[in-house]
Structure formats: C-alpha cells, structure tokens
A and B are shown apart, each in its own frame.
Chain A
C-alpha cells in the first residue's frame, strides 16, 4: 500500500463547479498535512496547510480526518486558472515529507 494515495483523475469540470479531492495516508502517526499545487512540469507550490479543525482560504477548504486517515480539498466556484495537478503531502515526522502522485484538474469554459 502506498504511503499517500490520491485519485489521479483527471477531473474535468466546467467553470463555476465545485470539485473535491480526497487523499488517504497509511501512517497514523503522521504529524502535518498540506496541499500543493503543481502546474505542468513546474515546481510544486504550497496551496494550504491542513489543520485538524479544518481551514478555509477563499474558495478552497481543506479538512483532515485523523480517525479515517484522509484529507480533502474542496474547490468552490472553479476558475480556469485552477487547472493544475494537486498534490497531497504528508509529513510523517521530522521533515519526512511523503507525496501523493497528484490529482489532475482541468476546468473548462
């Protein structure tokens, strides 16, 4: 079983749609969680950290369920510029980051 698993997609959605991505992780002792965004062949960039209580940043909402060992990302009112690959990242311990393979999103006019 992979340490961090994501649905690879692709997710093809129209502008204005709401889309949700899930990610599961295998290590119950994992300490912190992040969503990164990666545009084609470019470096990943932090989208948001994921906190136990859930957190929101504009149109983006991240949630963590430690009991079930999954995190989620919800994007509301999708924009064309949201088209990218979204990487789920889990910090196992001491900067030991594990990456999911990414979920590809395409937002269409």
Chain B
C-alpha cells in the first residue's frame, strides 16, 4: 500500500531533551516536507527536500533539523525542544511537479513540557 509512515503518533517530552520524529514513504517520491499545524495558522512549512542530500528551510525552521540520506526517509530532529514547539506535525511527500498532490503522514502530536 502506498503510504507515508510517520512515528510516533503522540509524544510528550520535557524541555531540552532531544527527539526525532521519523518519516518514511514507499512511493519513490523525490519531494518530502515537514509542516507544523497550530490553531488559526494553518500548515506552516518547516523544512523540505527535493532529493537525497538536498534540504532547504521552509518558513519556520528555527529549532529544527532534518536530513535526507536516503530517498525514502526524512526525519525531523529537535535538538533541544522548547514549549513553543508543542504542535501537530505532518510529514508529506510527492513527485516533483506543479500538479503533483501531496501525500501526508498521519501526524505527530508533540507536547513539550
């Protein structure tokens, strides 16, 4: 089944404790992206990648890191989480192209205490 697999679904952590949210897709998509969703603000892009070893900042990259060592995986790393990073996070992927639709993972609800 074609899908974007994101883990964990829920995560509660404390300020400063490094964490990683994993994202994997099995559709051979070149493009992968991370978003956060906060009430009233819609989805905002954190980082994106057009292909292996190619990553770029989105609109809200501060406090996050990503890597794209393999085409299928695009983990999101929070080196030192803070309470303002409490949010709902989505990973998405697509083929390159203006008409290509995004496929989303099922989301990660992160709470930083």
Binding site for B on A (CB under 8 A): 4, 8, 31-32, 34, 41-46, 49, 87, 89, 91, 93-95, 97, 99-102
With A8-B40, A101-B40 already in contact, the answer to whether A44 and B90 are too (CB < 8 A) is: yes
Apart from A93-B98, A99-B35, list 11 A-B contacts with CB within 8 A. A8-B40, A42-B106, A42-B107, A43-B90, A44-B90, A44-B104, A49-B101, A94-B50, A95-B31, A95-B33, A97-B33
CB-based contact B43/A95 at 8 Å: no
CB-based contact B98/A45 at 8 Å: no
CB-based contact B48/A99 at 8 Å: no
CB-based contact B98/A49 at 8 Å: no
With A95-B94, A99-B43, A101-B42 already in contact, the answer to whether A45 and B100 are too (CB < 8 A) is: no
Interchain nearest-CB distance for A24 vs B (Å): 14
Binding site for A on B (CB under 8 A): 31, 33, 35, 40-45, 48, 50, 88, 90, 94, 96-102, 104-107, 109
Which residues of chain A are within 8 angstroms of B96 by Cβ–Cβ distance?
94-95
Q: How far, in whole Å, are A102 and B106 apart by their CA atoms in the complex? A: 18
Q: How far, in whole Å, are A45 and B101 apart by their CA atoms in the complex? A: 9
CB-based contact A43/B104 at 8 Å: yes
Which residues of chain B are within 8 angstroms of A41 by Cβ–Cβ distance?
88, 107, 109
Q: How far, in whole Å, are A89 and B102 apart by their CA atoms in the complex? A: 10
Q: How many A-B residue pairs lie within 8 Å, measured between CB atoms? A: 55
CB-based contact A43/B101 at 8 Å: no
Which residues of chain A are within 8 angstroms of B99 by Cβ–Cβ distance?
32, 49, 91
Q: How far, in whole Å, are A3 and B105 apart by their CA atoms in the complex? A: 24
Which residues of chain A are within 8 angstroms of B33 by Cβ–Cβ distance?
95, 97
Which residues of chain B are within 8 angstroms of A93 by Cβ–Cβ distance?
98
Which residues of chain B are within 8 angstroms of A97 by Cβ–Cβ distance?
33, 45, 102
Top 9 A-B pairs, shortest CB-CB distance: A43-B104, A101-B42, A99-B43, A31-B98, A99-B42, A32-B98, A46-B101, A95-B31, A32-B99
Which residues of chain B are within 8 angstroms of A99 by Cβ–Cβ distance?
35, 42-44
